[in-house]
Amino acid sequence: MLAGDKRANEAARDARPALSAQQIASLTWAVAEYIREQRARYYGRAVPLTFTETWSRFFSPADLERIRAVQAGSSANAETANKAGIECVPNPPFYADLEKLGFTGLPNFATMPAITFDDVVVFHEPLTPQLIFHELVHVVQYRLLGIDEFARLYVRGYLHGGYEGTPLEICAYELDGRFLMGSIGFDVEAEVRAWMENDKF
């Protein structure tokens, strides 16, 4: 298949209609509320993670102490997870409103490897160094931006570029890629601040 045809097919599957300023503000508020609700829902079950000295070459002690993890179910073993009383993160309730407006291909939260709600990360897949690193970048983003600004930037990024084109995600993928390629260390907070200062989010 030609690349142009592939992009056209992907665009058809992932329709993102233009929204008014009022609709964007309403969606942003709903996303921020969803983040707060899910953080509160999972915080009681969340546990701290233990890190080796290597991680301090990338993250501050405050962020390594701040992150909390929950191992939830996954779409692959949903039946087993449900029997154990563990559920996948539900899709946001505002998805129904977005679909009525013509949105398609919205990310399915149950199939995501992990989702970060401020300082609480819900893992649907086994914890790996790269996955933990990626979610820790989001923990840093939340701390520096705050939930409301994180939600605003995430909505703006998603509306312009979809999930893969959201700058908050691009930043996390770029940094976890450097980690995976064997970097001996860099300051994640400084990297995130540089994205903020250069208006890259």
- pLDDT for position 114: 97
Query: What mean pLDDT comes out for the span 54-77?
Result: 87
Measure the CA–CA gap between 32 and 103, rounded to whole angstroms. Answer: 19
Question: Is 1 within the bounds of a domain?
Answer: no
- Tokens found for residue 106: 């919205």
Question: Is 28 within the bounds of a domain?
Answer: yes
Percent of the chain with pLDDT over 90: 84
The C-alpha angle 197, 200, 201, rounded to 5 degrees, equals 100
Question: Is 7 within the bounds of a domain?
Answer: no
Percent of the chain with pLDDT over 70: 87
Q: Domain limits at 44?
A: 21-197
Question: Is 145 within the bounds of a domain?
Answer: yes
Question: Is 13 within the bounds of a domain?
Answer: no
pLDDT-based confidence at 145, cuts 50/70/90? Answer: very high
Query: What mean pLDDT comes out for the span 151-158?
Result: 98
* Per-residue model confidence as pLDDT tens digits over 84-103: 455 789 999 999 999 999 99
pLDDT-based confidence at 3, cuts 50/70/90? Answer: very low
pLDDT-based confidence at 156, cuts 50/70/90? Answer: very high
Number of domains in the chain: 1
Average pLDDT, the chain: 89
- Tokens found for residue 122: 């819900």
Question: Is 49 within the bounds of a domain?
Answer: yes
